[in-house]
Amino acid sequence: MKLRRFAAVVALALVVPGLAALLPAAAAERSPVVVELFTSQGCNSCPPADALLAELAKRPDVLPLSFHVDYWDYLGWKDPFASKANTERQRAYVRSLHARYAYTPQVVIGGAAQEVGSNRAQVETLIRHAEVAAAAGPDIAVEGGRVRVGAAAGAPAAAVWIAFFRRASANEVPRGENAGKRLATTNAVREIRLLGSWDGRAAEFAFDAAPPPAGCDGAAILVQRPGPGAILAARVLDLPAR
């Protein structure tokens, strides 16, 4: 769907030639349900949830993202995908969803519901429920280095983010609770950058021209209420491997 008017333009300074030259034009399409898994290679109950996330990555209606937290690193293995920022995102969800505490493996679906990451039946149920909200969100289209978010009547204010991730990886774990295992990782988020604010009217946002983090070959555009809260729309993008 072509957007005929834009209520705002957010321009970020061009530092070096970056994403604008990497991304082809892409029309708007139905938003997938975003499934965020908070996991750790230092957690022995996480591999089943990691495997479920890998299965979900094969579905066109789901955008799974893996956020590796760092609070299990003290058990003897430092997770190479873990970051303090990922841990802080999970703790923010704990507050916004009124959960009792942060744990792994935990999934947050559509930014609005949480469940144990290995509970396949309940995860599938929450995805079905979230599909209704995803269908009502704004359209997202990408052209070159610009993201176009369509209008959505009555939609609440939200932020527009880009999350860079590595689609697939595997490594040996020599120490900690998963010692001796080879663990696979799917869509491991390495960095999230804020593109701007959206107020329900059609708007255009420019990509930050700084290159994505090393090793990232995918990106996700997220239109999300503050909190973090409900994810109103999402779009996945392919990036050239670096």
Contacts of 85 (CB under 8 A, 6+ apart): 191, 192
With respect to residue 2, please indicate whether it lies within any of the assigned structural domains.
Answer: no
Q: What is the pLDDT of residue 208?
A: 67
CA distance linking residue 123 with residue 127, whole number of Å: 6
With respect to residue 18, please indicate whether it lies within any of the assigned structural domains.
Answer: yes
With respect to residue 227, please indicate whether it lies within any of the assigned structural domains.
Answer: yes
With respect to residue 3, please indicate whether it lies within any of the assigned structural domains.
Answer: no
What is the domain-level CATH number for residue 74?
3.40.30.10
With respect to residue 63, please indicate whether it lies within any of the assigned structural domains.
Answer: yes
The total domain count for the chain is: 1
CA distance linking residue 10 with residue 18, whole number of Å: 17
With respect to residue 4, please indicate whether it lies within any of the assigned structural domains.
Answer: no
With respect to residue 1, please indicate whether it lies within any of the assigned structural domains.
Answer: no
Low-confidence ranges of the chain (pLDDT < 70): 1-29, 208-209, 241-242
Residue-number span of the structural domain to which 65 is assigned = 9-238
pLDDT digits (tens, 9 = 90+) for 152-182: 988 899 999 999 999 999 999 999 999 999 9
Q: Where does residue 181 rank: exposed (0-12), middle (13-18), buried (19+ CB within 10 A)?
A: middle
With respect to residue 218, please indicate whether it lies within any of the assigned structural domains.
Answer: yes
pTM: 0.88
- Coil, strand or helix at 197: strand
